[in-house]
Amino acid sequence: MRYVTPGKNRRMRDMRTLRLVMHARTRQPMLLLGEREGDRCVPVFLRGPQATVIAEGQRHEGDPMLPMDVLVPVVTGLGHTLDAVEFTALTDGVFVAVLVFDGDTRIEVLASDALAVAVREGLPIRMAEQILDEVGQPISELFPEGAQAPPEKQIDAFREFLDDVTPDDFRKP
């Protein structure tokens, strides 16, 4: 576990989950994140157990607890808050993700784990604008009828994109 100091000049963009899909060639799960205010999206490859947690969606009172669900009650019990998840960098094709506690304490975790916690708890997901500038893809190109188009059309368009993309496509040249 590594504590991370927030970058003073790092601009963050609010993100939303668009789709959880399976990469056609590798059969690896991927979560597509899109800007809340903007047209770019970024696919994040996941580990299987975290993809399963994400597929369950946001946790509601009375739902059985999943492994990721114990974090927030423990943090709250210790007198702290878990505020958000941030993607701060992309290094050699691997996202650097942090959990943000009490507004300014950041702890680096695996991107899959960060997303699983964020989705289950309904936490804000933020991404450094530098990442979006580097690897963001226009949603309008992936989903010509927009992210609000019927899911079948979105999935067909996204599958065409996935047929040719690999994790290496998101490494720095």
Whether 62 and 104 have beta carbons less than 8 Å apart is answered as no
Residue 135: give its domain's CATH number: 3.10.690.10
Residues spanned by the domain of 72 = 2-165
Q: How many structural domains does the chain have?
A: 1
Give the amino acid at 83.
Answer: D
158 inside domain: yes
User: What is the chain's mean pLDDT, rounded?
Assistant: 84
Tell me the C-alpha to C-alpha distance, in Å, between residue 51 and each of 68, 112, 154: 12, 8, 19
173 inside domain: no
171 inside domain: no
Whether 79 and 89 have beta carbons less than 8 Å apart is answered as no
Does position 94 have pLDDT exceeding 90, yes or no?
A: yes
Tens digits of residue pLDDT in 4-44: 655 555 799 999 999 888 877 888 899 999 999 999 999 99
Tens digits of residue pLDDT in 34-70: 999 999 999 999 988 898 889 888 988 888 888 888 8
- Give the pLDDT band of residue 110 (cuts 50, 70, 90): very high
Tens digits of residue pLDDT in 145-165: 655 555 566 556 666 666 666
**Average pLDDT, integer, range 103-127:** 95
13 inside domain: yes
Structure tokens at 75: 């943090």
172 inside domain: no
164 or 106, higher pLDDT: 106
pTM of the full structure: 0.78
